[in-house]
Each structure stands twice: as structure tokens, then as C-alpha cells.
Amino acid sequence: MNISVFPPPPLRGRLGGGSLPTAFHPLLASPLKGEEVNRASLRCRRVQILILSFTLLFSGCAHAGKVERSKSRREKDPFEASTGGVLFSKSYEEKLGQEVKKEVLKQYKLYDDSDLLAYVRRIGATLASFADRQDITYDFYVLDDPLINAFALPGGTIYITRGILTIFNNEAELAGVLGHEISHVVERHSMKHMQGGMATDLLWAVFTKGREMPLGIDIGRNLMMMSFGRGDELRSDALGMKYAYKAGYQADQVISVFQEFGRRDQSFVPEFLRSHPVDENRIAQLGDLWALVQTRQDIPPGASPLRTGVEEYEKVVFPHTYRTYFPQVESAMREMIAAVGRRDLEGMMSRVDRKFRSSWLNLSYKEFKKSYEDRFAATERITADVQFDAFRFLALDAVSALCRVSETRVHTDGRVESDTTAEIATFVKRGKSEGDTGAGWRLISLEDPSKW
């Protein structure tokens, strides 16, 4: 297994600004340095619009939904695929898929682990064998990206991120999401969007073979595409469930995935997720679909009993997720907070990596230390506590945890101050190899929660 440390999430959040932090705010730091932002910005500029359009178009996969849109004649049988009604030829669709694939691979790295890829492909291929469309080749890839996402390209290429793999608990959940993505390809949703004239930037990319896109094609158009995609999301929920069921999976497990998305909507999630929350209707409809599919004589379950696949998933995927390191990360932060409570500067700083610094606030390890020296000097007593709401996998040796930190300071002049702040702490594991537990985890930075 050869995994490089993933660079800080590029261009997805607010790049600076915001009010100055309170309680632990000297910790607040962007993992993305100014120069890196600029370089990343330049590098991505050319493909940004195209990729963004696909991110928006397909990232809704996990999140969008308005049940009203599905109240068409097709609702009579949600498990019947609608593969027709597209003017573009299959070869055109495949050509477009290849073009977009090139752009995706400029933006993302593939996750470099053959066992994990083989596992995802095996499940994907099984599901695809039940797809209502068999005139194209379905192919599956894992992207080396910590964000939670899954999307399908025209022509059958399906991507999932390693970020999304960290939120699944079993194989049936993964199968549910892959089945959903396959369904977008089955019903040729992206081609239907193009046909509707909503994706001229994509057409431009194909017809001009990568020449600069004209100005004026902006995100607004992509957002419009997104809203058009909501009915398609519900269609794909139904077909995806059917394929997972026919493949022998406990297909209602996908409901847990959407509930998890819904839960994350309330805390900190990427912006594209926030703008397309999972609503109760979508969860309810998935429940209805699950009840319905089991009554259908024409849709036989692929196994009895149906499979959840917890053990296999844990064995293959968990070593690639933060879950392995979860307790160590928590204890590192707790030790640091405890040291703050004891006004133990040395103890606290021993948990902070010396590389810690921020380009936003221009903090350094030294300045960070100084800020706590000052704080300790002005206070009689500090009590601090930390709660962990979620974790995000960044790389084998870096994990981000969403923390809510409460701090009460009793000053020497009798004043009492209390703060609770939410922040994302990024920890790195100090050690030369995977097996080396070394000195445990150190805090390297705090991120902007809006980038979560």
C-alpha cells in the first residue's frame, strides 16, 4: 500500500476571512498556505468550470431529493428503467465520457491500492450485471479525495472517493451507492440534461477539444442543472435499490447512508452537500421503496438471507479509514485540553507539532506558545473540555476531527469568561512506519469548520 499524504482540500471552502477566533482561536489555521492556494487556483482554473459542473451535477447523487418531482406516470412502477428518449448516440455519450474522464483525472488522483480497487470493482460489476442497460461497459474507480462524493460519467465510468468509503459500515451500503450511480448511467441522466440545453459548457469542451471555454459560463447554470437533477436522484434511488436487492444485498442499508448524510448536513459538510440536503421525504421514499421491492414477484432477491457484508467491508476498507486511529486521535486532543486546564504549557505544547503554523493568521509555533503564556498569566484557573462530533480521514497519517471546545477562564481580577467554539483539528501521527506507534498524535492545525 502506497499512499501519499493528501494535500489540503483545494478551493472548496472559504479561503480566509471570518472573525477572529475566541477560546482556542490562536489554533485556528488554514492547512492551505497562500502560495498553495494561488498555485492550486491557477492549476485548476482551466478545468474548474467543467469539473465543477460535474461535481454539482453528480455530487447531488448523495443528497438531493424532492419527492414531488417523481409524481409522474413512471411512479406507477419506480423499478422500471427509462432508458430511451435520448437523441445523442451511444458513441457520442462514450466520447463525452472519455473527455470528462480526462478532466476528472487532471483534478483528482486515483487511490493507489489494488486490493481496495479490486473489491470495489467486484461489487460494482456484480451490480452492473443486473442493470437495465447492458450496451455499455461499467467501470469503477476510487479517487484519492477525502471529501464524501460519488458520481457517474456519461458512458459508464463511476467514481467514488475514499472519503465516502469512510462513512459506510458495510458492503451493502457501498453497493447501494454504487447501484445508485449505475442507475444514472442506465437512464442516461447526464445526456438528458445536455439535451435539455443545460450543459453547454460540456458540449463546448467536447467540440473544441479542450480549448479555453468562453467567459460567462458560470456556476449559476450548473446550479440550475442541479435542480433539474433531483427527479433523477429519486429515480436512481429506486433503480439502485433494485440492483442491490437483485445482487443479494440487504438493500435497505442504503437508507442508513442517506441518514448519515442528513446528520452531517446539520454539522459541517462540504458546501455542495449543504446546498442539497437530504430531506425527510427522500428517506421516507427509500423506506417505501424497500417495502415495495420485497413484494415484487418479478424482482427476486439475489440471496436468502440477504447479505450485509460487514466483515468483508471491515477487512478490506477499514484499514484505509480513520477508524483505525480514532481512539488515538481523541486521546491526543484530550491530553492537550487537560494540559490547558492545568495551565501546563510544556505539557500542552508537547502535543503540538512544531510545523504548526498558519498563513492566514500568521501564527507560528512560537506565537502559539506565547498566546498561551499570556493567557495563563492573566488567569487564575482554566477549565476546558472537548467533544468530538465527527472525524474525517485525510491520509494514513493525518486525521481531522470536528471538535467543540469549551473553555472557562477565571481571571485574577475575578472576571469569568466562557467560550464554546467548533473547530476542526488536524492531527498527524508521528512515526516512521505504519506499525510504529511512536509518540502518538500531534496537533498540526485547526481548519475552518466551513470547509468540513
Nearer to Zn ion by Cβ, of 236 and 421: the residue is 236
Q: Which is nearer to Zn ion, 64 or 386 (CB)?
A: 64
Comparing CB distances to Zn ion, the nearer of 31 and 179 is 179
**Shorter beta-carbon distance to Zn ion: residue 62 or 293:** 62
177 part of the interface to Zn ion, by CB under 5 A: no
Region for 17 from its dihedrals, namely left if φ exceeds 0, alpha if ψ lies in -120 to 50, beta otherwise: left
Q: Which is nearer to Zn ion, 235 or 409 (CB)?
A: 235
Cβ contacts of residue 212 below 8 Å, gap of 6+? 46
Helix/strand/coil for 410: strand
Contact region with Zn ion (CB under 5 A), list: 120-128, 226-234, 298-306, 422-430: 226-234
Q: How far is the CB of 169 from Zn ion (least distance, A)?
A: 20
Work out how close the CB of 382 gets to Zn ion at its nearest, in angstroms, rounded to a whole number.
Answer: 48
Select 192 or 409, whichever has its Cβ closest to Zn ion. Answer: 192
When the beta carbons of 61 and 402 are compared against Zn ion, the nearer one is 61
Q: Shortest gap between Cβ of 87 and Zn ion (angstroms)? A: 22
Q: Which secondary-structure segment (H or E) carries 450?
A: none
Residue whose grid cell is 502518538: 440
Residue 61 lies near Zn ion (rule: CB under 5 A): yes
CB of 62 to Zn ion, least distance (A): 7
> Partners of 362 in the beta sheet?
none
185 binds Zn ion (CB under 5 A): no
- Minimum distance, C-beta of residue 252 to Zn ion, in the bound complex (Å): 18
Q: In angstroms, what is the minimal distance from the CB of 255 to Zn ion?
A: 15
Nearest approach, Cβ of residue 59 and Zn ion (Å): 8
Q: Which of residues 332-351 bind Zn ion (CB under 5 A)?
A: none
What is the Cα–Cα distance from 167 to 173, expressed in whole angstroms? 9
Indicate the residue among 61 and 241 with the shorter CB distance to Zn ion. 61
- Per CB under 5 A, the segment of 59-67, 318-326, 356-364, 403-411 that binds Zn ion is 59-67
Residue that has been written with the C-alpha cell 449543504 in this structure: 274
Contact 81, 132 (CB under 8 A): yes
Q: Which residues pair with 381 in a beta bridge?
A: 410
**Of 33-41, 53-61, 215-223, 331-339, which part binds Zn ion (CB under 5 A)?**
53-61
What does DSSP assign to residue 166? T
Amino acid at 297: Q
Window contacting Zn ion (CB under 5 A); options: 76-84, 225-233, 263-271, 289-297? 225-233
Piece of 57-65, 244-252, 284-292, 319-327 that binds Zn ion (CB under 5 A):
57-65
With CB atoms as reference, the residue minimizing the distance to Zn ion is 61
Q: Which candidate, 335, 334, 343, places its Cα nearest to that of 411? A: 343
- Phi, psi of 68, deg, nearest 5: -60, -35
Q: Is 317 in the site for Zn ion (CB under 5 A)?
A: no
Size of site (CB under 5 A) for Zn ion: 3
Q: Is there binding between residue 205 and Zn ion (CB under 5 A)?
A: no
CB 322 within 8 A of CB 391: yes
DSSP annotation of 70 reads G
DSSP 8-state code for residue 352: B
Strands (E) across 120-261 are located at 139-143, 150-152, 157-161
Our separate counts of H helices and E strands in the chain read 16, 7
- Whichever of 283 and 345 has its CB closer to Zn ion, that residue is 283
Q: Sign (positive/negative) of CA torsion 221, 224, 230, 231?
A: negative
The amino acid present at 415, given as its one-letter code, is R
Residues of span 228-257 touching Zn ion by CB under 5 A: 233, 236
The single residue listed with the C-alpha cell 457501498 is 174
Which CB, 61 or 332, lies closer to Zn ion?
61
Q: Which residue is listed with cell 440471496?
A: 303
Q: Is 404 helix (H, G, I), strand (E, B) or coil?
A: strand
Minimum distance from CB of 61 to Zn ion (Å)? 3
Footprint of Zn ion on this chain (CB under 5 A)? Answer: 61, 233, 236
